[in-house]
Structures are given as C-alpha cells and as structure tokens.
Amino acid sequence: MDKYFISIVTSLIMGTLARVLMMKVDYRQYPTYPQAYLSHFTLGIIAAALGAVAIPSIAEKEFVAVTFLALAAQQFRDVRNMERQSLDNIEVTELVPRGTAYIEDIAKTFEARNYMAILTAIGSSIGVYIAIYFKLHWSVQIVIGVVFGAIVIFYLTQMLKGGAIDDIADVRVAEITFEGPLLTIAGVPVMNIGLKESRKIFQDVGIAVEIIPKNPYAVAILGNIGQRQSIQHNAATQLGIRKDLDEPDFTPIARRNPENGNIVMALITMESDAEALVEVVKRSPVLESSKRKPVDAAGNHKNREK
C-alpha cells in the first residue's frame, strides 16, 4: 500500500478540508465553539480517512476494508440522532422555538456533511489513482487529486445549499391594525391582544411583513407549519425580540391567508426596523421537510386518467 501513500494523504486532507469549509457559526450559534467544533472536526477526519482508503482497498482487492463504509454510514446516522437530541434538549430555552421541522433539517444537514467528506476523499483518491495508472510524477498526482477533490466540493456545496424564502416568495412590509382587540395584518386576523398596554406597544413599535408566494409550489411550502415556525425563530433570533417568559402577546405568529396563501407576521423587536425584518425573512431557509410539488402531482393525476 506504500504506493498509495500520496493518494491516501491527499484524499485525507481534501476530505477534511471539505468538512472544515462547512463548519460555520452563524446566527443560529450552532455548532457552538469550541466543543462542537472539535467534535465535528474529528468526525470529519474520520469520514475523510474512510473515503481515502476506499479506492486503494479496491485496487488491492481488499474488499473487506470497504465494508467499513457501511459501518460509517450507521455511525453518521447516529450523529444525526445526536444532533437532533441536543437541539431538542435546548429547545425549551428558546423564547421562540425552532420547531421540530427546523431541528430535523439541521440534524440532516450535519449528517450529510460527513458524507460530503467521504465523497470528497473518494473523488481525490480517484484522481490520484488515475495519475498513478498513467505513471505521472508524484507532484502531478497531488495536483490532479486536489483538482478532483475541489470539483466534488464545489458540486456538493452547490447541491447542499438549499433555497431561501426569497427564491419562492416576495416579502414586503405590512401594516398592523386593530379591529377592537384583534390584531390584523393586511386584512388577516392574527391574534387577540387583550391588554391595552400590549396593543399600544404593537401600534408604536410593532413591525410586520407579508410573504407573497410566487407560485402554487411556494403556496404549499409556506403553508407548512414547520416552515412558518422556522421563519418566526429566525426573525426573533436575528433581530432580537421584546418579550420574556409568560408574555404570549409578544410571541410572533405567522398566519396564513386562506384566500391566497399569503403569510403575515408581526414582531416586536429591540429596534423597530421593518426593512431589516424583510431581509431576515428573505434569507430564511426553505426546509426540506416543507417542500411540496402540488402542480406536478395534479399533472400526473390527469395523465393517469387519460
């Protein structure tokens, strides 16, 4: 296996790099640092190592070694469960919860990123193996391995990006009005605000948005409760929310207009900036669990009838 030393080292570095590039602490503060950084970095090295030895093992007809990839898949599913459990445990500490759909989406993302490290390492290993087959210089082997790995990283990064609300809907500032104690946004009743003091705060510093789906596909996505909960959480987390425990009046609620599928939401933030709320909502991710294709389904049904 000495002749595969360059292949294994190059693939290990590229696979680990792929995992490192995906480790970012953003507004969600997850993964946190330094404990979670160390945990995910270590798993990235392990995943890259498994991918790095796959091609040399096959080339040497050591097929037993490849079975470790199947064991790794099981372990990374356990990582997904670990992430889900961790987020579930801290969910009660959030003023505006993420929701189970958002948690599941984050957990699946962390599992997929370990597979990304494996595939990048395999891609680099294939590149080096091709160079070895044509008996190219060791420096050329490294360059080809890096290029192959970079191509895999680029492709998988684009594939895992997902979408944002801005891709499927228009977001605009909306006006908050009251019909007696009933808070209304763009003609949609949102919630009953019993206290006069709370109604005054909404009128003075409250901000609201209306999310307008661009197509029937977007209507189905925004109708998902988990998707709306994630938007509420993102807005409250990034802009700050003027509420504490046991203050339900100021809990953001995203309501759906049953006539057209538009979503309205009001928020009491630390700084009343409606345009900032619009930008935050636009950047909110579209959850995988909320994706639907009702138009395609209807078309398929009609085709079957024919």
Please write the tens of the pLDDT for every residue from 166-194. 999 999 999 999 988 999 999 899 999 98
Asked whether residue 262 carries a pLDDT value surpassing 90, the answer given is yes
Last residue of a domain, one of 108, 142, 161: 161
Contact between 142 and 150 (Cβ < 8 Å):
no
Which residues neighbour 11 within 8 Å (Cβ) at sequence distance 6 or greater? Answer: 48, 51, 52, 55, 120, 121, 122, 124, 125, 128, 145, 149
Same domain assignment for residues 193 and 123: no
The single residue listed with the structure tokens 């097929």 is 63
Question: Comparing 63 with 109, which gets the higher pLDDT?
Answer: 109
Lowest mean pLDDT among 11-20, 22-31, 271-280: 22-31
The per-residue pLDDT for 30 is: 52
Asked whether residue 299 carries a pLDDT value surpassing 60, the answer given is no
- 108-159 pLDDT, tens digit per residue, is 888 888 899 999 999 999 999 999 989 899 999 999 999 999 999 999 988 8
Residue 196 included in any domain = yes
Domain encompassing residue 48: 2-161
**Average pLDDT of the chain, as a whole number:** 86
Q: Which residues pair with 266 in a beta bridge?
A: 208
The per-residue pLDDT for 80 is: 84
Same domain assignment for residues 55 and 195: no
Same domain assignment for residues 8 and 138: yes
Last residue of a domain, one of 144, 161, 178: 161
Asked whether residue 244 carries a pLDDT value surpassing 90, the answer given is no
Lowest mean pLDDT among 42-51, 56-65, 119-128, 165-174: 56-65
Same domain assignment for residues 98 and 241: no
Same domain assignment for residues 46 and 188: no
Asked whether residue 296 carries a pLDDT value surpassing 70, the answer given is no
Q: How far apart, in whole angstroms, are the C-alpha atoms of residue 242 and residue 99? A: 20
Asked whether residue 29 carries a pLDDT value surpassing 80, the answer given is no
Same domain assignment for residues 197 and 115: no
Same domain assignment for residues 134 and 244: no
Lowest mean pLDDT among 104-108, 147-151, 296-300: 296-300
Provide the pLDDT confidence category of residue 214 given band limits of 50, 70 and 90: very high
Tell me what the mean pLDDT of segment 31-48 comes to: 79
Tell me what the mean pLDDT of segment 35-41 comes to: 79
The per-residue pLDDT for 1 is: 47
Q: How far apart, in whole angstroms, are the C-alpha atoms of residue 212 and residue 262? A: 5
Question: Comparing 76 with 239, which gets the higher pLDDT?
Answer: 239
For residue 166, the one-letter residue type is: D
Contact between 208 and 266 (Cβ < 8 Å):
yes
